Structure 1
Amino acid sequence: MSFTDIFIRRPVFATVLSLIILLVGLRSYFTLPTRLFPKIDASVITISTHYAGADAALMEGFVTTPIENALGGIDGIDYITSSSTINQSTITVYFQLGYNIDAAASDVNSKVNSVRYLLPDGIDDPVISKTDPNAQPSMYLSFRGDSLSPEKITDYLNRSIQPQIQTLPGVGTAQVWGLEYAMRVWLNPQLMAARNITPADINRTLTNQTLQAPGGQLKTNLQEFSVKTFSEASTAEQFDNLVLRQSDGQLTKIRDVGKADLGSKVTDISVWINGKVGDVIAITPSSTANPLDISTEVKRAFSTLIAALPKTVQAQVMWDNSTFIDESIKEVKKTILEATLCVIFVVFLFLGSWRTLIIPTVTIPLSLIGVCTIMFILGYTLNTITFLSMVLAIGMVVDDAIVVTENIHRHIAEGKTPLEASLLGAKEIQFAIIAMTFTLAAVYAPIGFLTGLIGSLFKEFAFTLAGSVIISGFIALTLSPMMCSKVMLPHTATESAITKKIDEIFNKILLYYEELLHKVLKNRKKVLGVIPVVLTLSAIIYYFIPSELAPLEDGGYILTPILAPTSSNVEYTQKYSKELEKIYSTIPEAENYIIVNGQGSSGIAPNTGISFLVLKPWSERKRTVDEIIADLFPKFMAIPGIIAFPVNPPSLPGAGSGAPIQIEIQTLGSYDKLNEVAQKIMVEAQKNRKLFNIRIEPRLDQPQLNININREKAGALGVSTSDIGYAVNLGLGQPRAGYFSIEGRSYYVIPQLYPEFSNKPETLNYLYLSTASGALVPLGNIVTVDEAVVPQSYNHFQQLRSMEITASMVHGYTLNQALTYFKTIINNIAPDVQIDYAGQARLFFQTGGQMGATFIFAIIFIFLVLAAQFESFRDPFIVLFTIPLSVFGALLAMLLTGCTMNIYSEIGLVTLVGLISKHGILMVEFANQLQETGKSIEEAIVASATVRLRPILMTTAAMVLGTFPLALASGAGAVSRQQIGWVIIGGMTVGTIFTLFVVPTIYTYIATKKSSSI
């Protein structure tokens, strides 16, 4: 008794097994979380160090470099970047994907602590934080108030709204973009000089009198009291009354030399929402959260919170990325339904019987729902990638059932009863089913073990698809034969007119094919000559197909980085960025927009900004994001005073949000020489009309005042360098001098000169310093001032000084073409310069070689599986000849439809390897059986090809027609589905045509009389 006989003779047992698969799968489906992409474990550690008043060069030499040197020996690092700017050092350590983030943080922490003693005195402790580069905000909530100050709204949000949103399930962070309170102590240097008040006096008074002094406890015989000392100033009036000096019984207070005012901590940032000043709460999900659930929870809580807002504050959900996720998943589910209907239509077209149609059709829900159990066990999620695998699975999972059903149907047509036909037909075909199932599953084994971004993205795709195929193979050997024995009618039963017509048409096709196949085999050498021609054409077509990391999707929003001249302040940036609002008003697809002035992609900088334009839903607009960007681009370029480039952000997780081209030019020498090379490269790159937004970072045009200390004079007078440094900081900067609290929240105290004094270097002459004798000396007598032009920041890449060239491409110009162009001009201009890559460009090079190796490994896996199943090292070669022929069809379809070579199309090519191999398996396996009955090699392969023609055409038509909804997809997330769809359609269509003639030809050359090992 064969394996299939058990289930044919025990129909209840076969039915119960399938019901268990269905029920457990349904339970798993409703348990699986939903997200846009599979979770990517990206380990990134950021070390931020603040040193008030320090220039960029000081931060580089005394802060960034010592910390970087300590980090060099840590395991698992991919690369390190750093930026040293005024007051701030930021070092970002990128670990290899999948590296343990906790272990990484521990290693970084211990290394930073080991060099803490090397950092300057007075510097803030380095802040080490674990960051997820994929953790991008998924919702923006906006708040505006006409009668309330931005600081008041920000404070209300921080106290009332943000804590309630932060504690919602799944919310990682809820960050308020606004203006926090600070106590601004405005000082008049002339009044300070008149009363002999030095900057050191200001610092000492503010620091000492804003300290929180613990009071302790008082215990009596019967009671215990807690003691609170009200030592800190907390209101502007109390700060005004702080005593700076007592001389001859006269008190000098803050109000005598200035004024305290409750103002804003940051004055170089402004947030505009739909044309009005406001605040934004950016909500970022936790790494394991379901964005759809978070959106529901936040909106539910938001409706309650809005009711409690002050009446003058307007609030709204500005942007919700769950809309894109929901739309993408809805579109994929719609594609699944369309593909299912297409497959059912194809099966009916070939079988011509509604009763018979049921048998392969039930395989679809059983396989797709059943695989959810495997996904649950492996910890996968329901996302666009796993749903994409289910779309492809629809055409695959019916293949095995179609082959079984067709073979049993053939035996019934020969006069056997349904039971006899099921027993014999299933037994005949079970080896081929097992071979096809394991072959297709083996294709995805290399994908499942990929590392890096592709591995993280497509591991779930590979194992979900392989799981579906394995389940379908099991169903084809258990449920399908049993159903055939119960559902199919005997040959004596009256056939419907449509069945007779279909059989008549197919019999004509069969006779024509058999006749044509005989002619082909008589001209075998000519057929062999076609193969090198096809391979040559494939190579030529491949050359003309552009490559990129991944196609851009229509995400429903547009980002616009804003750049003003280097020395511009936030008022300048804001003035010209208002022009964007006028342009947005002319875009019918615009729904909301946010403009943040003073905040760029690299952090706070008054000459930068970012704009976020939210578009109407896909169903409510006719133009795509790329079409709208094409409209905005010339309008933005016409804005005077700033540079603004609208861009469509990368849709692939882990690709970052910066420009697609990020080339790092490195040196051990000076920035001046490095800048010379970078400028030459930029000038040459600007000649390429397909590149735009070409920039060099850092720019070397930051105006700087150099304060030169006369150390001999300072030493002779007994003036300390620290007092000089603080005086300069107070005169020209905004130093921090402690904290104060309001109703349980602490805020900065920031002393500074009135704007009319702090805006000019001459102010230093008004500030006095105490000498060793107690006398006062003007700061201007000890220091001199000169002007210089320096880099905005000092950047390092892999611990070397670097400058980054960034650029974006016009639509249709791919990343590979752009990088090839840049490599060419760099080699021509500076062949000895050291370069590296970051962002999308780095990922492109890291993933490029992986897919080629995966394709080769997939073929090797198939060969080994087939060799084991056929017990022959020759027969697998016959099957593998179908692969290059199908790849030709895929490449041709890509060229004709404008597809690119990207990770989606490459996954489609790997999938194609398994799909097209199934045709060869059907022919070779049955031909071997026929040889054992005494037929010659040619007789066997002709008979096998003729008998297997119908299932081959059925499975091909089912796969191709089932994939058309992918190729013709529209809406959210459609571009990636189109890429993989056209690969499958072209490869299966052309590959099947070649298979029907090339496999029989190759079989007559390679096959032996017996399927034995060489």
Structure 2
Amino acid sequence: MQKLAEICVRRPVFATMLILSLTVVGLFSYKSLGVDLFPKIDLPTITVTVVNPGASPQEVETEITDKVEGAVNTVSGIDELRSTSVEGVSQVFITFLLEKNPDVAAQEIRNKIELITNELPVTAEKPIVQKLDTDAAPVVRIAVSAPRSLREVTEIADKKIKQQIESINGVGDVQIIGGRTREIQVWVDPDKLRAFNVTVAQVADAVRAQNMELPGGRVDEGARELTVRTMGRIIEPSEFNNLVVGNRGTYAVKISDIGYAEDGAEEPRTEAKLNGLPAVTLTVSKQSGQNTVAVADAVKERLAEIAKTLPPGFKTEVVGDQSIFIKASIEAIQTHLIEGSILAAIVVFVFLWSFRSTIIAGLAIPTSLIATFGLMAAMGFTLNQITMLALTLMVGIVIDDAIVVLENIFRFIEEKGVHPFQAAIEGTKEIGLAVMATTLSLLAVFLPVGFMGGIVGRFMSSFGLTSSFAIAVSLLVSFTLTPMLAARLIKRSDDEKERAFEKHTEPADHGSKESRFYRPIDRTYTRLLTWSMNHRWVIVAACLLVIVSIIPLFMFVGKNFLPVDDQAQFEINVRAPEGSTLPATSTLAERIAVDLRKLPGVTDTLTTIGGGQQEQVNVASIYVKLTPIGERKDSQNQLMVRARSEVAVRRKAADERSASCCDFRRRFSQC
């Protein structure tokens, strides 16, 4: 590295282009970096979902779940295997060891499932094998409401909002909760069915057979070829009444003879309420690896355009937006990063008392940090709390090497009277091994963090690698850019071109160590060092006391995997007794939501029931939105504690009412 420093001093263009190339790559990489709250973590967990409409939980378990578990249980590397069987849906969750490649695990599971597909019930749908993707999380929740029927609101939300949002780049899925889609319902009278000797199965087969379009082949008409199709699709709902379900002698039995057809809506299995009023909720999830902030901004921009085209009376409201907290967090860290860089440069100036020296040392901060963006882009990292924390901590570290090299060059010029050009070479050569040893010791601390195992290792790997690359670039800067600039910018104290400010603060017949600022520091440190050398056992005992105190202090300090942040939002999950109907769960959840809306700082509550593939009507989720942190007195954690007390009171009252009539137990869980 000493030879590299000499080359850079003699070849300033080489040094400039070397560092400039890294900086340019970092600048262009910064634009491509995604913005997220936490790093992307690939957990080797596979989900197998099989839907069998109408099957009971016992039937689902014996006919589907047990067979799926038996098939996938032979795959190597399984850490945990669990399953849930509810009405009509079987889900098997396979968690592998962290060393297992998720893609390989998913393919092995698919191969095993294909072997038992023929053994599943005929009415069961094709099994769906999916990887658990924690990065493809919901980013925006949109509530659509209007003074119309829920079916009309659902149709508008589906055709005019959902379809347009799905076309946005980065959007992975849009799920509708609380909607009721259109459905043609055929109501039959059991007495009339018996009178005509017609079964329900015959009615269903007749509707299915007489409401379809089939290809009819091709017809040649001279030089033209025409495609023939049988136009059997029913257009008007009233025409279903004329469908023939059977013949009794010469009489054709129609649906109108045994019942009637109705243009209605499907049976409600989900529900959504915004502040107690019915609404249709659209949950927008992003694709894996996409920029959360960019996707959320694009969705809100498209939603503003869609709102202008909606029928009168329709209202759309963004209830939940994950990008708000992410933006605030990243902006706060960026502010700290800039402030830290400025303060570090000020400290350098206070001790060196030279604008030129401060500029030389301060350049190590932006060059090292900006160049780090190139590695982050190459490794697939995002701008999140972990990587930004690493860059913020590196502000005070990346400048160390440049300060040590610059100070030694400054000493050669000031104390030995060496020409700046030669001082840059000799000073860097003298201190080179010490600087390398310091940098390598830092790399020995941070680099292993990037290769830790376990969940924590997956979470903190970006921190270790980002920090290590910034430190490595700072070492390169201190041996290239720093000596090159020092050889051309630092002047001797008696040089006529020295700044007037430095002439007034540093007398010509004294070095910088005799300045009015440094002299008191030097005298104080000398006294402390003399006293320490005369009382060695006191210093040793104090050091041992500090080391021993680490154990009790570590046990006293609280521990948590993630910090407790005020995101101005939280969610409550409620599980009603098994067998509860949708209206019963809705009533229970809405009572809790009413109590929550009375809390200070709560702006909205969004209650959703029956979401997900299982559509369990006894499971509700209450999303609570708070005012910004600067506009309320209580923190999010305090409001969550008060919400738990409200839920506990509601649970106690519900238990007392149920105990009087039956032995039910209500179980609540809050997150």
Q: State the TM-score, normalized to the length of structure 2.
A: 0.88
CA shift in 2, pair 1:10/1:423, >3 Å: same
CA shift in 2, pair 1:260/1:496, >3 Å: farther
The amino acid of 1:639's aligned partner reads R
Deviation at 1:433, TM superposition (A): 0.9
CA shift in 2, pair 1:260/1:102, >3 Å: farther
1:441 matched to which residue of 2? 443
Distance in 1 between residues matched to 2:452 and 2:75, nearest whole Å: 24
**Partner SS, residue 403 of structure 1:** helix
Deviation at 1:441, TM superposition (A): 1.6
Write out per-residue CA displacement over residues 475-506 of structure 1, whole angstroms, 9 at most, x where no aligned residue: 11222223333333435576544862222112
2:517 matched to which residue of 1? 502
Distance in 2 between residues matched to 1:271 and 1:806, nearest whole Å: 19
1:544 matched to which residue of 2? 556
Task: Report whether the alignment pairs 1:422 with 2:424.
Answer: yes
Task: Report whether the alignment pairs 1:81 with 2:93.
Answer: no
Deviation at 1:472, TM superposition (A): 0.8
1:879 matched to which residue of 2? none
Deviation at 1:791, TM superposition (A): 13
CA shift in 2, pair 1:2/1:267, >3 Å: closer
Match of 2:534 among 502, 509, 519: 519
**Partner SS, residue 549 of structure 2:** helix
Write out per-residue CA displacement over residues 877-923 of structure 1, whole angstroms, 9 at most, x where no aligned residue: xxxxxxxxxxxxxxxxxxxxxxxxxxxxxxxxxxxxxxxxxxxxxxx
Distance in 2 between residues matched to 1:545 and 1:433, nearest whole Å: 35
Match of 2:484 among 476, 482, 485: 482
Write out per-residue CA displacement over residues 387-436 of structure 1, whole angstroms, 9 at most, x where no aligned residue: 11110110100111121223333344424245254333322211111111
Write out per-residue CA displacement over residues 508-529 of structure 1, whole angstroms, 9 at most, x where no aligned residue: 02321331242145x4xx6555
Verify the 8 A CA contact 2:573 2:622 in the aligned structure 1. Answer: yes
2:223 matched to which residue of 1? 222
Structure 1 window deviating more from structure 2 (312-321 vs 613-622): it is 613-622
1:790-805 paired onto structure 2 within 5 Å: none
1:120 matched to which residue of 2? 121
The amino acid of 2:516's aligned partner reads K
Distance in 2 between residues matched to 1:341 and 1:632, nearest whole Å: 43
Deviation at 1:93, TM superposition (A): 2.6
Deviation at 1:363, TM superposition (A): 0.8
Distance in 1 between residues matched to 2:202 and 2:589, nearest whole Å: 41
1:610 matched to which residue of 2? 621
Verify the 8 A CA contact 2:140 2:318 in the aligned structure 1. Answer: yes
1:468 matched to which residue of 2? 470
**Partner SS, residue 37 of structure 2:** coil
1:623 matched to which residue of 2? 634
Distance in 2 between residues matched to 1:452 and 1:806, nearest whole Å: 31
The amino acid of 2:523's aligned partner reads K
**Partner SS, residue 490 of structure 1:** coil
Give the unaligned 5+ runs of structure 1.
Answer: 645-702, 704-788, 793-804, 810-1014
1:152-191 paired onto structure 2 within 5 Å: 152-177=152-177, 178-191=179-192
Distance in 2 between residues matched to 1:78 and 1:155, nearest whole Å: 44
Structure 1 window deviating more from structure 2 (617-626 vs 280-289): it is 617-626
2:585 matched to which residue of 1? 573
1:135 matched to which residue of 2? 136
Write out per-residue CA displacement over residues 708-739 of structure 1, whole angstroms, 9 at most, x where no aligned residue: xxxxxxxxxxxxxxxxxxxxxxxxxxxxxxxx
Distance in 1 between residues matched to 2:75 and 2:464, nearest whole Å: 33
Write out per-residue CA displacement over residues 143-190 of structure 1, whole angstroms, 9 at most, x where no aligned residue: 11102x222222233233222211211111122222222222233333
Write out per-residue CA displacement over residues 643-701 of structure 1, whole angstroms, 9 at most, x where no aligned residue: 89xxxxxxxxxxxxxxxxxxxxxxxxxxxxxxxxxxxxxxxxxxxxxxxxxxxxxxxxx
CA shift in 2, pair 1:153/1:413, >3 Å: same
Task: Report whether the alignment pairs 1:353 with 2:354.
Answer: yes
Write out per-residue CA displacement over residues 508-556 of structure 1, whole angstroms, 9 at most, x where no aligned residue: 02321331242145x4xx6555555444322222233343322332223
The amino acid of 1:514's aligned partner reads L
**Partner SS, residue 483 of structure 2:** helix
2:648 matched to which residue of 1? 637
Deviation at 1:270, TM superposition (A): 1.5
The amino acid of 2:267's aligned partner reads V
2:193 matched to which residue of 1? 192
CA shift in 2, pair 1:509/1:11, >3 Å: farther
Structure 1 window deviating more from structure 2 (468-477 vs 605-614): it is 605-614
Deviation at 1:642, TM superposition (A): 8.3
Verify the 8 A CA contact 2:573 2:669 in the aligned structure 1. Answer: no
Deviation at 1:369, TM superposition (A): 0.8
Verify the 8 A CA contact 2:570 2:625 in the aligned structure 1. Answer: yes
The amino acid of 2:366's aligned partner reads P
Write out per-residue CA displacement over residues 924-980 of structure 1, whole angstroms, 9 at most, x where no aligned residue: xxxxxxxxxxxxxxxxxxxxxxxxxxxxxxxxxxxxxxxxxxxxxxxxxxxxxxxxx
CA shift in 2, pair 1:102/1:20, >3 Å: closer
Distance in 1 between residues matched to 2:100 and 2:444, nearest whole Å: 27
Distance in 2 between residues matched to 1:461 and 1:486, nearest whole Å: 36
Distance in 2 between residues matched to 1:96 and 1:157, nearest whole Å: 42
Deviation at 1:293, TM superposition (A): 1.9
1:8 matched to which residue of 2? 9
**Partner SS, residue 138 of structure 1:** strand
1:820-859 paired onto structure 2 within 5 Å: none
CA shift in 2, pair 1:406/1:643, >3 Å: farther
The amino acid of 1:570's aligned partner reads L
1:945-960 paired onto structure 2 within 5 Å: none
Distance in 1 between residues matched to 2:665 and 2:522, nearest whole Å: 79
CA shift in 2, pair 1:368/1:642, >3 Å: farther
Task: Report whether the alignment pairs 1:563 with 2:578.
Answer: no
1:254 matched to which residue of 2? 255
Distance in 2 between residues matched to 1:104 and 1:158, nearest whole Å: 35
Write out per-residue CA displacement over residues 220-278 of structure 1, whole angstroms, 9 at most, x where no aligned residue: 33332222223344543233333333213333333333332233333232211233212
Task: Report whether the alignment pairs 1:553 with 2:554.
Answer: no
1:352-431 paired onto structure 2 within 5 Å: 352-417=353-418, 419=420, 420-431=422-433
CA shift in 2, pair 1:627/1:447, >3 Å: same
Deviation at 1:12, TM superposition (A): 4.3
Deviation at 1:98, TM superposition (A): 7.4
Deviation at 1:459, TM superposition (A): 2.2
Distance in 2 between residues matched to 1:791 and 1:126, nearest whole Å: 34
Verify the 8 A CA contact 2:212 2:231 in the aligned structure 1. Answer: no
The amino acid of 1:478's aligned partner reads T
The amino acid of 2:568's aligned partner reads G
Deviation at 1:342, TM superposition (A): 2.4
Verify the 8 A CA contact 1:563 1:607 in the aligned structure 2. Answer: yes
Distance in 1 between residues matched to 2:527 and 2:388, nearest whole Å: 40
Distance in 2 between residues matched to 1:133 and 1:603, nearest whole Å: 19
Give the unaligned 5+ runs of structure 2.
Answer: 496-501, 507-511, 656-661
1:299 matched to which residue of 2? 300
Distance in 2 between residues matched to 1:53 and 1:379, nearest whole Å: 45
2:658 matched to which residue of 1? none
**Partner SS, residue 390 of structure 1:** helix
Structure 1 window deviating more from structure 2 (488-497 vs 609-618): it is 488-497
Distance in 2 between residues matched to 1:170 and 1:76, nearest whole Å: 33
The amino acid of 1:574's aligned partner reads S
Verify the 8 A CA contact 1:140 1:282 in the aligned structure 2. Answer: yes
**Partner SS, residue 312 of structure 1:** coil
The amino acid of 1:248's aligned partner reads G
Deviation at 1:331, TM superposition (A): 0.8
1:755-904 paired onto structure 2 within 5 Å: none
Distance in 2 between residues matched to 1:415 and 1:628, nearest whole Å: 66
Task: Report whether the alignment pairs 1:54 with 2:66.
Answer: no
CA shift in 2, pair 1:331/1:158, >3 Å: same
